[in-house]
Amino acid sequence: MELFQRYSNLLATSFLIVLLISVSLLGLEWRTAYQHELTIIQEDFVESAINLDNIVESVTNHLQILRLVAKEDLNRNEVTGQDFYPAPLRSQITSTQAQRYQVFPHSEQ
């Protein structure tokens, strides 16, 4: 009977050791997968922020170009008196002498 008791204790101890090792490996796997997902989310966020920054920079550059072209066109019209881009609204803006139109009204020339 004592032999069976020792055998039963040995099997129970072996089972608990295998169970503890399995649970610890499962926890390690879960933690590693969680860290990996966090890294992927952070990298995606950084990539999206860089893309958004590039889009904002591109829009800013395009607006700057449009501002310079409009300013140059208004100045050229003032000097030569010719409409290079005839349009009804543009002719109304440039033909008004009582009020000068500028791209930035408060900026110095």
What angle do the packed helices 2-80 and 88-95 form, to 10 degrees? Answer: 60
To the question of pTM greater than 0.85 for the whole model, the response is no
Give tens-digit pLDDT for 57-106. Answer: 999 999 999 888 878 877 776 677 666 666 656 665 655 555 555 555 55
Could you tell me the residue ranges of all domains in the chain? 2-79+88-95
Chain segment 11-38, per-residue pLDDT in tens: 999 999 999 999 999 999 999 999 999 9
How far is 91 from 106, CA to CA, in rounded Å?
23
CA distance 51 to 45: 10
What is the C-alpha separation between 54 and 60, in angstroms, rounded?
Answer: 10
Q: What is the largest CA-CA distance in the chain?
A: 118
The whole-number pLDDT of residue 109 equals 46
58 is written with which tokens? 């591109």
